[in-house]
Amino acid sequence: MKAFLMFKDRDFDLQRKLPSNEQALTQDLELNTLFNAMALGDEFLFEVAKKAVLSGLNNDLDTILYRQNILKDCLKNPSVVRDIYDIAVGAIGSEKKAYFFSYFSKYPGAILSRSIEVLQMFVGMLKKLRNIADEHADKFESEGFISFFAMLKRELGNEYFVTIHNHLRELKFRDGVLISAELGKGNKGINYILRKSQDKKQNWLERIFAKKPPVYTFNLHPRDESGFRALSELKDRGINLVANALAQSTDHILSFFSMLRTELAFYVGCLNLHEQLAQMKEPMSFPLPVASTERRHSFTDLYDVCLALTMKQKIVGNDVNADNKDLVIITGANQGGKSTFLRSIGLSQLMMQCGMFAPAQSFSSNVCDGLFTHYKREEDTTMKSGKLDEELSRMSDIVDKITSNSMVLFNESFAATNEREGSEIARQIVSALLENRLKVFFVTHLYKFAHGFLGKKMENGAIFLRAERQTDGGRTFKLIEGEPLQTSYGEDLYNRIFGTDD
């Protein structure tokens, strides 16, 4: 049995390696805030959220849309999805308890006893899943859930449960164990085979007065420890194969519950996040992804989901149409929302590519083959390198890993030197990235660099955004289209902090 709720044709690999720049993405985009909101204190949900979001950069269009449709079903039927998840969690937890108390699991008898106990518990959980499929399957419309419920109905029919019940009843050996064996060299027993007991349908009178077949018996003295041990070993040899087979059966069902828990954990995390954002009345929508070879980036009311989760209130969103653009340059007033906007770009891209909803009224973007961030860092406390050295070293590492159709987010990069040198470094690096068909978002105060791309002919043009400033120096935290200005209005901050004195 397979769940196939993350991919159409394969399981979700929780051990898959994350991108090599995982640490930079997590730090620069504050991803742990997102993961914590999805997990709500559950370590397993946190781990699945982290793996699903960061590995989403490898997903194709079909996988993204496949998960989106499943998530839409989850949002329409949250209680049903949580019930299925709780069943999987309960099954795994019960199996662990049974394993913990099975101290003698190396012996076939103990293995068989534990396997019977676990399988009986699993059967109860499987019946619950089947009941959910019977009661709620018609409420789900996605390909993933339709296939999942169809599998449950197909694999978990009444005949299946009757067969399991009969097998488990026989394996308890209430009438003793029937074993055949042969004599080998030195009269040692070989070829031990567990035999099925004859199923005689007799009433109690027939069982009492029926003629018994001739048998040979022997009795052990109550204190004959060696005899009991020999008899136990004889029984273990006979039931060894069936004990191993039953253990493999329980492992198979356990693996199904484990994968079901893992794959549903992603959607439960999405439900947790959706509920928190809905309480803040933040807009959410399912994005429209397009192929990586296209250039699409347009949205309305896009906001920084991590800032909203941190402040626990509605955040100012932005409307931008950067379709058919390779370069977006963001300038403007200090503390005007530029870095927050840049973070919202990275977060929404990751959320879209892992199959989640987007933190926006509407959102559309091309799929990226990779996402990289180049943000300011604190100065090296070991004094082994200067700030510019460190920035260029990180840029070199990014260049070694990027591919065409990737996205790079720059935040105040190359400002550790003077205006002329910083602008020239930024210009050359960005020009090389654009020539190799990468999408670039660049927040900067380097006027010469930003102004240098005005009117520059490129295969896909550039769009210039500016943090809006009111006439009184107030910040709206909105970005508007506008040419770069030579000032970042640092005087506003000076006056606010130190005050004005005639």
Residue pLDDT, tens place only, 155-184: 888 887 777 666 556 665 555 666 666 777
Largest CA distance in the chain: 121
Q: How is the chain split into domains, by residue range? A: 59-171+253-278, 283-498
Least confident range of 201-205, 320-324, 412-416, 474-478: 201-205
Q: What is the pLDDT of residue 76?
A: 98
Residue 104 pLDDT: 47
- Binning pLDDT at 50, 70 and 90, where does residue 103 land? very low
Q: What is the mean pLDDT of residues 196-200?
A: 61
Structure pTM? 0.84
Question: Is pLDDT at 471 greater than 80 in this prediction?
Answer: no
Question: What are the Cα distances from residue 41, in Å, to 45, 209, 262, 269, 308?
Answer: 8, 66, 16, 11, 18
Distance of CA 292 to the CA centre of its chain: 22
CATH class name, domain 283-498? alpha beta
Integer angstrom CA distances of residue 249 from 69, 122, 269, 311: 33, 11, 30, 49
Instruction: Look at strands 362-366 and 288-290 and give their pairing.
Output: parallel
**Cα gap 160→154, rounded to integer Å:** 10
Encode pLDDT of 213-229 as tens digits.
666 666 766 776 765 56
